[in-house]
Structures are given as structure tokens and as C-alpha cells.
């Protein structure tokens, strides 16, 4: 007779004959005695829990008041939880509180102690509630994912790296719910026009956010139990090491939508307190093929830019913060001049968009293929045009400038706030002023502002506010009004759909060259460029407001004056 049956008989709560009959029935059905006892209706599950608590001296708890999110993840193996009918409630130091309905199940307590290497503290709970919680824990993640996925996404990925050594958990990442859920997230991101996907683990929840039109929006909160499997699935697709979770990793994957349409994703993982955060940058090659007219340059700015990039030699620099569209602008320029008679080479970290007819090189610092090494090699490859992903140090800047001085056209990017400060940034980096003056022919600074949706409406903005923002008196003449965002189904209630570029195009004129040679500062350069008719980022943004492309608040938020 089991320990629980004996305790019930000794306490007079269950006749011996009835206990024997239930014991035999449990053996025949190959289930624990407590299952047969509760199912028979001889004793109510809550009465049985109270009896066990009083008899064996363990605390009693009502599981129905407990939130699943409050349970410690992975404190006990899922298979052990299901086999022994136990649930981990809390872990404090070396002590593990465990919900159990049959305290005489010494085998379960011993196995938990052995696996967790912790001191186990049993807590008595009602058997039927415990079974319901176990079922919920085992099935909630899969059911939740299936509900979130809906119709299965019919997509393909580029062939995975078959030579990579599988990690022990590799078998788990092919779980159908995980695969379907990730496919849905990727397709949602592509359909919404997102630029980035953030998979973020926290202590109590797991969050997925999409950056749409430059703003992060929460898209889903899947069960926290899937976080490791989801990251592992992404790592396999991006050809990363799924067994390495202690250091950041970078990779790339390709989503094949059709025989003629594929989208690349740049994947970055980062260990955080509660798991690996994963960010995926969506690289759509069609963006670089939109044409220069689609980027939002004013007619005079477009003319200046096209004149500069079609010169035989010199340096054109594009500046702005991360996510301001510098790469798309550079690729668009390369597309304009990409002809069979021109040899174009690029060094990038990494190459974000594939351009047919352009020789693209991924720098690899670990292998010794740095920006300077790639540039030196380019100069032995009979180049006409060289594109450097980013000028980060003096050595890269020196080689790029020497290339521009020796008959090559060089494109590159820098992280600065505006065009005038780029020149002082190069000086601070250690580049000699005469080298800057003799090589740089144009600097463009840019920002991306959200474009107003078709649901926009005129805004009642006072003249004083418009003047304070930077408008001039003559620009406010007429009956035009700025527009404000409203929100509709098309723009998901934000009032904005898509983005428009705001640009500062600054040619390096003889007057600006003199300021550079005299070690002038960015304020002097800015004053001279304004005198020559160069619009600042704020002025360019205000013209977009007057054209009804974006709102005044959006321009004020992404530019300084």
C-alpha cells in the first residue's frame, strides 16, 4: 500500500478495502494512486490537500492565485515536472519551493534535489489544480504561438550551412511552432516596411518590437519559455554558433519570397542579463534601386549631387547618425554611375545590399582584412570609383584621401551632426587641412523624417510658432498651412506612412577651402556655406513642411537650429 493510502486508512479517512481496490485500479491503469483516488470522488482534491498539509506538516497553497509568469523558468526539467507531477514555485538562493499534491512521493523529491542541486521545500497543493497547471505549462507556449501565427507562412530561406557542428539543443529549434512563429514575424516586418526587428528577453516577459518609419513599436509578447529556442533558430539561419551564448555574434540570412525577390537580414546577438537580445536589420535591395528622385532631394540639391559624383576624382562624404539612410544614398549614387566602362569597388562592414556590377568586399578584422588593407588592395585593382563603408580612423582617412588625390572618386560616410562639422571631425582625427581642402569636393548631411499619411489634415499653427521654428516672413505669405498627423488604418493610427529625406548639400568652394587651410572651426564653415546659399538641415526640413510632406513637429524633432 502506498504511503498516501496508508496515511488515509490510519486516519480513518478511507476504508482499507476501498484503499486496496483503488490501489489495484491505479496499478492496472498504470497511473499514480492519487490520480485514481481523486478521479473516484472518494475524497475532494482540496480536502485531500488540507489533510496532507496537516498530516505531513507542509505548508498549503492555493495555486489558482498564482500567475504562470511568476514561476521560475527552467528550475526543473519539463519531462521531470510532467512525470512526477511537480511544479517549481520559487527559488531563493539554494532553496527551491516545489508544488506537490502527494508528499509521500519521496522519489520525486529526491530526483528534483539531485537535478537542481538545491534544498527542496515541498508545498502542498490541490491535485486537480496542479494537473491543470502542468497541462497549461506544457501546452501554453505551443498553443499561444499557434494562435499568434494563424495561417502558415509559405516562405523559404537560403540554404543553411550544413558544415556547422550542431549543438545539443539543435533538435529543439526545428519545433514547428517556433519555425512558423519566426516566419510570421519576418513576414510581418517585411509587409509593414520595418527596418529592424528587436527580440528582447526580460526577467518576466519576452518582447518583439519592430522599427517602422524610424519608431519602435511593440509587435508581440510570445511566451518567455520560447526565447532560447527562438534565438537558436535565428542563429542557425544566420550561420552563427548556437552553442556560444557568452559573446556577441554577427551574421546574415536571406529570406526568399519568390524566384525573383529575396530580402537579406543582418543579424546581431548580444548577451544580456536574461538571455540573448537579437536585432535583425532588414536589407531590401530594391531600396537602392528606387532612383535618386525617390530619395527626396530638392531640385537644386539633386543637381549639385549629380555634378559631384560624376567628376573624375575627389571625395564625397555622406554624414548622419545610424539609421539616417546614408547607405541607401551611397548605393543610389553608385547605381547612377554604375556602367560597364567603370570599375567600382566597395569595402563595407558588412556589405548590406548586393549591387550587380559592383565589386563588394566585407571587411574582416579577425582575418586581418581591415578597411586600410582593403583600400590598399583596391588601388592595385585599377579602380575608377572606391566606396569605403565608414571612415573610422586616421589610417583609413589617409588612404582614402590619397586615393582621391590620385585620380579616383571616393565615397564614404562619417558619423557627424551636419556637413560643416564633418570637416573639423577630419581635422580632429589627424588629417592635415591641406589634404582635406585638396580632396573633399562635397559633403552631404541627412536625416529621415516620417512622411505624413494621406489622412493628414491642416494644422492651426500660429505665425509666432512658425517663425520660432525657423520660417522667414516671406515664406509664410499665401494661404498655405502646415499639415498634422491624424491616423487611419493605412498608417496603423500613427498618422505617418514612409519616410522622406532631409538633406544638407555642401560643395567645398574656394572660400570654404581657405577657411579649412586656416584651421577654421565648424561655425565659420557653416556661416560661409549659408552665405553661399547652402540650406541647413532645419531649413531643408521646413521646406518639406511647406510642401506638405511632413509635420513641423517631426522636423523639429530630428533637426537642430
- pLDDT on residue 1: 65
203-237 per-position pLDDT tens digit: 888 999 999 888 899 998 888 888 899 999 999 99
pLDDT at 157 over 90: no
Average pLDDT of the residues in 278-292: 78
Residue 142 pLDDT level (bands cut at 50, 70, 90): low
Residue 10 and residue 124: Cα distance in Å, rounded? 20
CA 495 and chain centroid, separation: 23
Residue 539, CB-side half-sphere exposure with 13 Å CA sphere: 13
- pLDDT on residue 288: 60
Which residue matches cell numbers 560661409? 528
Q: What are phi and psi of 163, to 5 degrees?
A: -90, -10
In the 8-state DSSP scheme, what is residue 369?
B
Residue 163 pLDDT level (bands cut at 50, 70, 90): very low
Average pLDDT of the residues in 320-344: 89
Residue 54: which residues within 8 A CB-CB, separation 6 or more? none
Do residues 144 and 222 make contact, with C-beta atoms less than 8 angstroms apart? yes
109 by DSSP, 3-state: which?
helix
Helix pair 394-405, 371-378: axis angle to 10 deg: 20
Residue 64 and residue 52: Cα distance in Å, rounded? 18
Average pLDDT of the residues in 131-148: 70
Closest CA to 439 of 412, 418, 464: 412
Residue 456 and residue 548: Cα distance in Å, rounded? 9
For the entire predicted model, the pTM comes to 0.68
Average pLDDT of the residues in 116-144: 80
Do residues 287 and 330 make contact, with C-beta atoms less than 8 angstroms apart? no
467-505 per-position pLDDT tens digit: 999 898 888 888 888 999 998 888 888 899 988 999 999
5-22 per-position pLDDT tens digit: 888 888 888 888 888 898
Beta bridge pairs of residue 443: 317, 506
Instruction: State percent of the chain over pLDDT 70.
Output: 91
Which residue matches cell numbers 517631426? 554
Residue 391: which residues within 8 A CB-CB, separation 6 or more? 317, 371, 397, 400, 412, 413, 414, 426, 429
Mean pLDDT, the chain, integer: 86
Three cell numbers, residue 138: 506544457
Residue 322 and residue 352: Cα distance in Å, rounded? 14
Q: Where are the alpha helices (DSSP H) in 12-160?
A: 16-29, 33-40, 45-56, 78-84, 106-116, 127-149
Do residues 124 and 61 make contact, with C-beta atoms less than 8 angstroms apart? yes
Residue 378 and residue 382: Cα distance in Å, rounded? 7
CA 492 and chain centroid, separation: 20
- pLDDT on residue 316: 95
Radius of gyration (C-alpha) of the chain in whole angstroms: 33
Three cell numbers, residue 294: 525617390
Closest CA to 515 of 406, 434, 409, 428: 434
Q: How many CB atoms lie within 10 A of CB 278?
A: 23
Do residues 512 and 447 make contact, with C-beta atoms less than 8 angstroms apart? no
Residue 450 and residue 549: Cα distance in Å, rounded? 9
164-205 per-position pLDDT tens digit: 444 444 444 446 788 888 988 999 998 888 999 999 999 888
Burial class (CB in 10 A: 0-12, 13-18, 19+), 402: middle
Beta bridge pairs of residue 229: none
Q: What are phi and psi of 158, to 5 degrees?
A: -60, 155
Which residue matches cell numbers 519545433? 175
Residue 145 pLDDT level (bands cut at 50, 70, 90): low
Residue 280: which residues within 8 A CB-CB, separation 6 or more? 186, 189, 196, 197, 199, 234, 265, 266, 267, 268
- pLDDT on residue 151: 58
Beta bridge pairs of residue 211: 196, 216
Residue 385 and residue 19: Cα distance in Å, rounded? 89
Residue 267 and residue 155: Cα distance in Å, rounded? 19
- pLDDT on residue 138: 67
492-546 per-position pLDDT tens digit: 888 999 889 999 999 999 999 999 999 999 999 999 999 999 999 999 999 999 9
420-460 per-position pLDDT tens digit: 999 999 999 999 999 999 999 999 999 999 999 999 999 98
Average pLDDT of the residues in 64-85: 76
- pLDDT on residue 26: 87
485 by DSSP, 3-state: which?
coil
- pLDDT on residue 191: 86
Amino acid at each position: 500500500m502506498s504511503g498516501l493510502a496508508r496515511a488515509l486508512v490510519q486516519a480513518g479517512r478511507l476504508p482499507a478495502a476501498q484503499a486496496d481496490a483503488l490501489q489495484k485500479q491505479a496499478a492496472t491503469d498504470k497511473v499514480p494512486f492519487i490520480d485514481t483516488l481523486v478521479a473516484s470522488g472518494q475524497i475532494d482534491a482540496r480536502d485531500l490537500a488540507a489533510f496532507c498539509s496537516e498530516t505531513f506538516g507542509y505548508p498549503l497553497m492555493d495555486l489558482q492565485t498564482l500567475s504562470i509568469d511568476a514561476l521560475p523558468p527552467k528550475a526543473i526539467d519539463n519531462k521531470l515536472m510532467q512525470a512526477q507531477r511537480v511544479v517549481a514555485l520559487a527559488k531563493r538562493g539554494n532553496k527551491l519551493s516545489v508544488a506537490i499534491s502527494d508528499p509521500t512521493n519521496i522519489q520525486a523529491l529526491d530526483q528534483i534535489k539531485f537535478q537542481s542541486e538545491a534544498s527542496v521545500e515541498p508545498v502542498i497543493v490541490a491535485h486537480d489544480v496542479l494537473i491543470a497547471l502542468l497541462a497549461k505549462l506544457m501546452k501554453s507556449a505551443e498553443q499561444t504561438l499557434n494562435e499568434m501565427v494563424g495561417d502558415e507562412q509559405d516562405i523559404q530561406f537560403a540554404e543553411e550551412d550544413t558544415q556547422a557542428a550542431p549543438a545539443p539543443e539543435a533538435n529543439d529549434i526545428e519545433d514547428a511552432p517556433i519555425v512558423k512563429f519566426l516566419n510570421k514575424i519576418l513576414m510581418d516586418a517585411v509587409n509593414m516596411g520595418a527596418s529592424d526587428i528587436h527580440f528582447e528577453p526580460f526577467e518576466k516577459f519576452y518582447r518583439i518590437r519592430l522599427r517602422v518609419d524610424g519608431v519602435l513599436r511593440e509587435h508581440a509578447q510570445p511566451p518567455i519559455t520560447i526565447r532560447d529556442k527562438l534565438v537558436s533558430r535565428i542563429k542557425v539561419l544566420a550561420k552563427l554558433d548556437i552553442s556560444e551564448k557568452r559573446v556577441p555574434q554577427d551574421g546574415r540570412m536571406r529570406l526568399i519570397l519568390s524566384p525573383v525577390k529575396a530580402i537579406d537580414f543582418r543579424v546581431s546577438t548580444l548577451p544580456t542579463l536574461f538571455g540573448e537580445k537579437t536585432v535583425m536589420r532588414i536589407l531590401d535591395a530594391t531600396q537602392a534601386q528606387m532612383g535618386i528622385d525617390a530619395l527626396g532631394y530638392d531640385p537644386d540639391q539633386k543637381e549639385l549631387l549629380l555634378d559631384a559624383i560624376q567628376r573624375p576624382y575627389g571625395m564625397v562624404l555622406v554624414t548622419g547618425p545610424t539609421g539616417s539612410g546614408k547607405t541607401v544614398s551611397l548605393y543610389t549614387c553608385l547605381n547612377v554611375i554604375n556602367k560597364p566602362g567603370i570599375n567600382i569597388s566597395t569595402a563595407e562592414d558588412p556589405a548590406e545590399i548586393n549591387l550587380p556590377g559592383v565589386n563588394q568586399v566585407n571587411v574582416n578584422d579577425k582575418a586581418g582584412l581591415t578597411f586600410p588593407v582593403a583600400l590598399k588592395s583596391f588601388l592595385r585593382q585599377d579602380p575608377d570609383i572606391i566606396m569605403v563603408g565608414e571612415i573610422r580612423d586616421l589610417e583609413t582617412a589617409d588612404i582614402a584621401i590619397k586615393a582621391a588625390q590620385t585620380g579616383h572618386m571616393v565615397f564614404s560616410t562619417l558619423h557627424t551632426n551636419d556637413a560643416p562639422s564633418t570637416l573639423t571631425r577630419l581635422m580632429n582625427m589627424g588629417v592635415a587641412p591641406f589634404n582635406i581642402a585638396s580632396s573633399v569636393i562635397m559633403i552631404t548631411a541627412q536625416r529621415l523624417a516620417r512622411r505624413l499619411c494621406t489622412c493628414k489634415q491642416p494644422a492651426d499653427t500660429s505665425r509666432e510658432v512658425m517663425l520660432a521654428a525657423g520660417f522667414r516672413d516671406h515664406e509664410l505669405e499665401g494661404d498655405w498651412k502646415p499639415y498634422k498627423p491624424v491616423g487611419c488604418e493605412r498608417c496603423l493610427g500613427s498618422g505617418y506612412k514612409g519616410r522622406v529625406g532631409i538633406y544638407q548639400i555642401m560643395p567645398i568652394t574656394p572660400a570654404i577651402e581657405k577657411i579649412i587651410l586656416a584651421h577654421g572651426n565648424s561655425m565659420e564653415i557653416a556661416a560661409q556655406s549659408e552665405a553661399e546659399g547652402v540650406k541647413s538641415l532645419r531649413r531643408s526640413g521646413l521646406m518639406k513642411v511647406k510642401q506638405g510632406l511632413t509635420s513641423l513637429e517631426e522636423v523639429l524633432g530630428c533637426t537642430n537650429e
